[in-house]
Amino acid sequence: MKKTKIGIIICDRYRNCGGGKCFRALKNREGAFDIYAKDEHVEIVGYANCGGCPGGNIEYVPEEMKKNGAEVIHFATGFVVGYPPCPYIKHFQDMIRVKYNMKVVVGTHPIPQKYFAIHSTLGTWESQELSDYIKPTLASEKLRLLYD
C-alpha cells in the first residue's frame, strides 16, 4: 500500500479552525484530496497556520513538517475562500518548493457552496491565477452543499 505524509497549512484568519472539513475531505478523498487513491494511506504529520500576513510561519513550518516525513504541503481551502483570497499564495508555493523541495497543493476540502455563491457574485476568482487555484476544490454543487 502506498503511503503519503502531508502537512496542512491554514490561513491565520481561520487559526481557531479545528480542521473538521479538512479531515472529512481527506477521509472521503474529496476536494483537493481526490488526488490520493482510496486505498492509499495518507497521514497528516503537521497542521499549522501561516502565522498571519504576510505568512511568517511559511518560512519554518514546512521544515518541521518535512522532518516528520511530509512530502506534500496542502494550503487549506481557506486561503482561497476568505475575502479577499490570500495574495501571497504564489510566493508561499514558490518558497516551499525551492527551499524545501516539496510539492504544494492549493486546497483541502471542497469549497462550501455559500463561499462559492458570494465569490461568484463578486467575480473574485475571475483571474486565471485564482481560477487555477480553486480547481482542486471546486467540486460539484451537490458536494459543495455538504461542506456549507
pLDDT at position 1 is 82
| pLDDT given for residue 66 in this prediction | 98
- Residue 84 CB: number of other CB atoms within 10 A? 10
Handedness of CA 59, 129, 16, 53 (dihedral sign): positive
pLDDT at 99: 96
Q: pLDDT tens across 86-140, in order?
A: 999 999 999 999 999 999 999 999 999 999 999 999 999 999 999 999 999 999 9
CA–CA dist 129, 15 (Å, integer):
25
Helices (H), 2-146: 20-28, 61-67, 78-81, 89-100, 113-122, 128-138, 141-146
Give the domain ranges of the chain: 3-146
Pick the CATH number of 3-146 from 3.40.50, 2.60.40, 3.10.590, 2.115.10: 3.40.50
pLDDT in tens, 9-47: 999 999 999 999 999 999 999 999 999 999 999 999 999
Which tens digit of pLDDT belongs to each residue from 44-100? Answer: 999 999 999 999 999 999 999 999 999 999 999 999 999 999 999 999 999 999 999
- C-alpha span between 143 and 56 (Å, rounded): 33
Contact (Cβ atoms closer than 8 angstroms) between residue 51 and residue 57: yes
Which residues make beta-bridge pairs with 6? 44, 72
Residue 9: how many other CB atoms lie within 10 Å: 27
The alpha carbon of 47 is separated from its chain's Cα centroid by a whole number of angstroms, namely 11
Per-residue pLDDT, 118: 97
Q: How far apart are CA 96 and CA 63, in angstroms?
A: 9
128, burial (CB in 10 Å: exposed 0-12, middle 13-18, buried 19+)? exposed
